[in-house]
Amino acid sequence: MIFSELKLYELLKAKIGEKEAETFIQALEAKVKLEEKNIEYVLKKELKESLLTKSEAKILLPSKEDIVRLDARLTARMLYFWIGQVSIIALLLFYFFVLKGH
């Protein structure tokens, strides 16, 4: 028994008796071991179900061409964004210094 089990055993022994406390602790240990086995079984089962074969992974993962195409689209969108930002700043500066100055 570990320290917490000993402490529980001592508390139970004072309340319900030595034999009953020992029986309770043994039943509790058996239940915990059973729960640990159940959790281990479920985790192993889920791990087996979640693993992909190489052919399945190839279908799900993007190819190099897909990644290059996506990168080109993102680069173009960033370029359009920055062109828009610079244009707005230039228009604001033009408004405040040229048109507002008169």
Domain carrying residue 97: 54-102
- Give me the number of domains the chain comprises: 2
Query: Do 15 and 47 belong together in one domain?
Result: yes
Return all residues near 22 (Cβ < 8 A) that are at least 6 apart. Answer: 9
1 and 47, same structural domain?
yes
Q: What is the pTM of this model?
A: 0.39
Mark whether 88 and 42 lie in a shared domain.
no
Torsion angle, alpha carbons of 54, 59, 61, 65, to 10: 120
pLDDT 10s digit of each residue in the chain, 102 long? Answer: 565 677 777 888 888 888 888 888 888 888 888 888 888 888 777 777 777 676 766 777 788 888 899 999 999 999 999 999 999 999 999 999 988 866
Helix axes 18-50, 3-16, angle to 10 degrees: 140
Distance CA 12, CA 18 (A): 8
